[in-house]
Amino acid sequence: MTLVHELRSALPDVAVRDPSELGGPIWPGMTPEFVASPSSTEDVSRLLVWAAQEDLGVLAVASGSHADPVSDGRFVALDTSLLSGIEEYEPADLTITAGAGTRFATVDDALRENGQWAPFDPPAARDRSMGGLVSEAAHGSLWAGYGALKNHVLGATVVTGDGRVLRLGGKVVKNVAGYDLLRSVVGGRGRLCVLTSVCLRAFPLPPQERVLMISAASVAELIDSALAVGTAPVLPVSIVVAGPLEALDGRAALVVRLHGAESTVDADQAILETHVGTSFDRLTEASDGAARILSQLQDLGAVEDRCVEVSVLPSQLSGVVSAAADVGLGPMVVDSYAGRIRIGGSDLGVDPVGTLREAAEQAGGALRIVRWGRADFPTGTPQSMATAMLSERLESIFDPGGVLWPARS
Amino acid sequence: MATPRELTISSVMTQTLTPTIADRLRAIVGQNHVITHPDRLVAYESDGLTAYRVVPRAVVLPETTEQVSRVLAVLHGEGIDVVPRGAGTGLSGGALPTPDGVIVGTARMNRILSIDEQDRLATAQPGVINARLTEATAPYGLYYAPDPSSQSACTLGGNVAENSGGPHCLKYGVTSRYVTGLTVVLADGEVVRFGGAGTEAVPSLDLVGLFIGSEGCFGIATEIEVRLLPAPEGVRTLLGIFDTMEAAGRAVTDIMASGLMPAAVEIVDHATIVAVEASVFAAGYPIDAGAALVIEFDGTEAGLDDDADRAEQCCVAADAREVRRATSEEERLGLWKGRKKAFGAMGRIAPDLLVQDATVPRTRLPEVLARITEIGQEYDLKIANVFHAGDGNLHPNILFDRQNADELDRVEKASREIMSLCVSVGGTITGEHGVGVDKRGYMPLVHNEVELEMLRRARWVFDPNGNLNPGKVLP
């Protein structure tokens, strides 16, 4: 009896597909034994228990846009797309709960119908699944104003590697009833558990968004202005430098976003311009296609075959951006308030990335590989021995049998 | 769950520390910084939850990370339990001593180590008082956002241990949003570094986030790196007076649905108003009012009047009897007085006060408050409510006399009913005070046995022997 038949016999409610039906390999060089699509938390639990018995690894995927296995061995792809749909939404409570396989677009549309939103804007967000976003702790340029994704995840239902179902967090904004295991799951990249449901905090849509811009020939030329914005007496919700941008004929741009009432954003713009000592262009949808520029900012470099991310203190950004430019790395997006640089491209080389990592680490920062093919895989900054040991212990309590596939190095 | 009667000074025999161990500790922290005299130890017998009292075996007051490491190594080697303690303002008994344990206090670790104006970061020792950090960063136009009500006394280390909130966390979030890195001493004395601004790309699990709120069970944070915010240019404060709590609740719902983002939305109920107005903290709230609602906006000066106008319209639409607006800092403090001095005012009515803490979905507040009133009547207890209405965080305050055994019994029963009520509507047993010893018995209300076992294992990850703050959090 083949594995597929065994699974169908053991778990008749779990849909099973051959990987060839997916229309090509999702993971470079890696092919799962089959793709299983459970439609309930209970079936996820049963599938994990079954996989452990069969000595199979399990890799949870939804949109598949960020899965990137790095180890060899037999594994099953656990497709979460059937764990889909909004489970609970009470607009007056500003909370929404959805299945982990729910596309963010579904959640976003539901919120916006009620004048609300979830203020994080990672690359290609609308096409990605809730579980994938949370698993990656994916973030975008709204970090300055609204904080990291981890601040918006109020609760989750997860299944551990050995099939235990845990409800972590809750559905209220403030909750300190026990150790906050949810924090280690957000950004855990599937190392600890499989997410089956996620509860997010929603926010009222801002009454106004003002998008301000300065353009220049290169990203490096705009870093000082961006840092000046970041030390102004008012804090924009987003401060990003990116380039080259197609929408600007290959030039780079510093884009600043302000949220608030009309009078507030008027005043904030004046304060920023005084503080930075220059005037910004005010982008409007009608004349400048502001949405197109923001969309390019959100995705630039992130949807390429190869993508790396650097973190440093904002005060160290200039040196690291220069180092990247010196070795020809780009295009890049710089969140100057968070101190993060994203660089993507199909032609990123191992050596230039190594040089960038060295520059980042010398500046007290770090580099991680967001996505890369399996061949000539560069290495990112490792964690310390002490945190690695604690992380391993943590993994051992969530996944004592080592069933969950390490989706990333 | 241990009851207050079980954990009292009279019923628990405290072991003394052997001279040899005390001398080894004194050699690390200095002769005067190991307390073993019974008269001085009594000062550490409880934290802000005075219903529980246990005299510790000794108190050790280190000054540096290295001293904490060496102290914990000695105690770990001797198999002695350690109870970390900041200012002792916690309200869940998280710093309650164990009879055979030693308190490691952070009172001498009170230095701000650095302020980085460019990167808007500060690093401080755990014994730094919350409000002092904002005072120190004010000259740079910056401040530290989390503002627990006890911020003039509570410490950053305690804030990290409890993941503290405060009135203004409605807009700004709680402690975990602001802590970017920690230096932590584990139970065996090992010093580890979690996170750190600029190192987010290191592919580690979020150990900073996991450590925050661990109530002293995972380690002792000895250096805390936090993100600072630009101080808001202006502030507007309103006080809405309502005939009923239900009307005040409607105003809150309308304000939050309108797209406004207040910095704080706080309510005090009729019983609290009466208590405040009868005290030296009288704030001029009408004593026949059903509820008083404090709303505050901060940010760029130019937009604040618009925000305040819109909030006032929401109050009027919800049948507010009166809406006052502060026109000076003095008036602002006056409007806040009834909220901020509520606990002090209640302390003058009864010898003991149990400040409860729970969170419910905001839309369930009216029914939960009505039921809490009924519970008070059923158990013949005075319960006054003060709460962070914007995020559904309730603080039912139960007034009692712990010398009255019958009343104490009724307090325990009423507390359990209130907790069960909050959980039954989708809430939880604590929003910002932590579990400590007070709420261990309620943990099964929100976690099943599989989840509780997972929490026990999480504790093992950091402290395999379970010597750090035993008897806390887990039932």
> What are the helix (H) ranges across A114-251?
130-136, 143-146, 181-185, 223-230
Residue A314's nearest CA partner among A239, A243, A259, A375 is: A239
Same domain, residue pair B249 and B163: no
**What is the band of B51 on the pLDDT scale with cuts at 50, 70, 90?**
confident
Phi-psi category of residue B257: left, alpha or beta, with phi > 0 → left and psi -120 to 50 → alpha:
alpha
Same domain, residue pair B80 and B139: no
Same domain, residue pair B251 and B274: yes
Same domain, residue pair B240 and B170: no
Tell which of B192, B207, B230 closes a domain: B230
Q: Under an 8 A CB cutoff, do A390 and B207 touch?
A: yes
- Give contacts of A176 with chain B, Cβ < 8 Å: 162-163, 213, 430-435
Would an 8 Å CB–CB cutoff place B392 in contact with chain A?
yes
Residue that is written with structure tokens 């994704």 in the block: A149
Q: Under an 8 A CB cutoff, do B212 and A180 touch?
A: yes
pLDDT (0 to 100) of residue B13: 56
Residue B5, in any domain of the structure: no
**What pLDDT, in 10s, does the model give residues B325-376?**
999 999 999 999 888 888 888 877 888 888 899 999 998 988 999 999 999 9
Same domain, residue pair B144 and B242: no
Q: Under an 8 A CB cutoff, do A191 and B205 touch?
A: yes
Residue B7, in any domain of the structure: no
Give the residue on B whose Cα is nearest the Cα of A148: B177
**What pLDDT, in 10s, does the model give residues A46-68?**
999 999 999 899 988 876 666 55
As for how many domains chain B has, the answer is 4
Q: Does pLDDT of A29 surpass 70?
A: no
Nearest to A340 among B200, B202, B454 (CB): B200
Count interface pairs A-B at CB distance under 8 A: 267
Is residue B246 within 8 Å of B209, Cβ to Cβ? no
Same domain, residue pair B265 and B212: no
Same domain, residue pair B206 and B287: no
Q: Which domain holds residue B175?
A: 112-230
Q: Under an 8 A CB cutoff, do A339 and B429 touch?
A: no
Q: Under an 8 A CB cutoff, do A204 and B261 touch?
A: yes
Give the residue on B whose Cα is nearest the Cα of A90: B363
What domains does chain A contain, in order, with CATH numbers? 3-79 (3.30.43.10), 86-204 (3.30.465.10), 206-297 (3.30.70), 301-379 (3.30.70.100)
Residue B438, in any domain of the structure: no
- Give contacts of A338 with chain B, Cβ < 8 Å: 200
B19: how many CB neighbours lie within 10 A of its CB?
9
Q: Does pLDDT of B20 surpass 50?
A: yes
Residue B9, in any domain of the structure: no
**What is the band of A409 on the pLDDT scale with cuts at 50, 70, 90?**
very low
Q: What is the CATH number of the domain that holds B37?
A: 3.30.43.10
Residue B342's nearest CA partner among B408, B388, B295 is: B388
Residue B415, in any domain of the structure: yes
Alpha-carbon dihedral B401, B404, B410, B411, rounded to 10 degrees: 30
Would an 8 Å CB–CB cutoff place B141 in contact with chain A?
yes
Least Cα separation, residue A5 to chain B (angstroms): 31
As a residue count, chain B comes to 475
Q: Does pLDDT of A373 surpass 80?
A: no
pLDDT (0 to 100) of residue B353: 87
C-alpha pair distances (Å), B398 with each of B66, B372, B421 = 42, 11, 16
Tell which of B288, B316, B344 closes a domain: B344
Nearest to B119 among A188, A233, A315 (CB): A315
Is residue A336 within 8 Å of A239, Cβ to Cβ? yes
pLDDT (0 to 100) of residue A63: 66
Identify the residue among A89, A111, A179 best suited for mutation to test binding to B, counting B beta carbons within 10 A and taking the highest: A179
Residue A189 DSSP class: T
- Give contacts of B421 with chain A, Cβ < 8 Å: none
- Give contacts of B301 with chain A, Cβ < 8 Å: 267
pLDDT, averaged across chain A: 90
pLDDT (0 to 100) of residue B341: 86
The kind and range of the H/E element at A350 are helix A350-362
Identify the residue among A42, A172, A176 best suited for mutation to test binding to B, counting B beta carbons within 10 A and taking the highest: A176
Least Cα separation, residue B468 to chain A (angstroms): 14
Identify the residue among B170, B192, B256, B461 best suited for mutation to test binding to A, counting A beta carbons within 10 A and taking the highest: B461
Residue A150's nearest CA partner among A187, A123, A205 is: A187
Phi-psi category of residue B226: left, alpha or beta, with phi > 0 → left and psi -120 to 50 → alpha:
beta
Q: What is the CATH number of the domain that holds B191?
A: 3.30.465.10
pLDDT (0 to 100) of residue A26: 55
**What pLDDT, in 10s, does the model give residues A309-343?**
999 999 999 999 999 999 999 899 999 999 999 99
Give the residue on B whose Cα is nearest the Cα of A117: B259
Residue B195, in any domain of the structure: yes
Give the residue on A whose Cα is nearest the Cα of B457: A397
Residue A399's nearest CA partner among A193, A197, A196 is: A193
Least Cα separation, residue B10 to chain A (angstroms): 29
Residue B76, in any domain of the structure: yes
**Region B63-80 average pLDDT:** 97
Same domain, residue pair B331 and B241: yes
Would an 8 Å CB–CB cutoff place B136 in contact with chain A?
no
Same domain, residue pair B245 and B197: no
pLDDT (0 to 100) of residue A296: 87
Q: Under an 8 A CB cutoff, do B169 and A174 touch?
A: yes
Same domain, residue pair B88 and B179: no
Nearby residues of A355 by Cβ (< 8 Å), 6 or more positions away:
A323, A326, A327
Same domain, residue pair B28 and B131: no
Q: Under an 8 A CB cutoff, do B426 and A170 touch?
A: yes
Would an 8 Å CB–CB cutoff place B212 in contact with chain A?
yes
Residue B8, in any domain of the structure: no
Q: Under an 8 A CB cutoff, do A314 and B192 touch?
A: no
pLDDT (0 to 100) of residue B256: 86
Residue that is written with structure tokens 């964690």 in the block: A383
Least Cα separation, residue B279 to chain A (angstroms): 31
Same domain, residue pair B306 and B291: yes
**What pLDDT, in 10s, does the model give residues B395-436?**
999 999 888 999 999 999 999 999 999 999 999 999 999 999
Q: Does pLDDT of A24 surpass 60?
A: no
**What pLDDT, in 10s, does the model give residues B276-331?**
999 988 999 999 999 999 999 999 998 899 899 999 999 999 999 999 999 999 99
Identify the residue among A174, A201, A367 best suited for mutation to test binding to B, counting B beta carbons within 10 A and taking the highest: A174
Q: What is the CATH number of the domain that holds B280?
A: 3.30.70.2190
Tell which of B105, B133, B158 closes a domain: B105
Q: Say which amino acid occupies B245.
A: M
- Give contacts of B217 with chain A, Cβ < 8 Å: 179
pLDDT, averaged across chain B: 93
The C-alpha atoms of residue A88 and residue B257 are separated, in whole angstroms, by 18
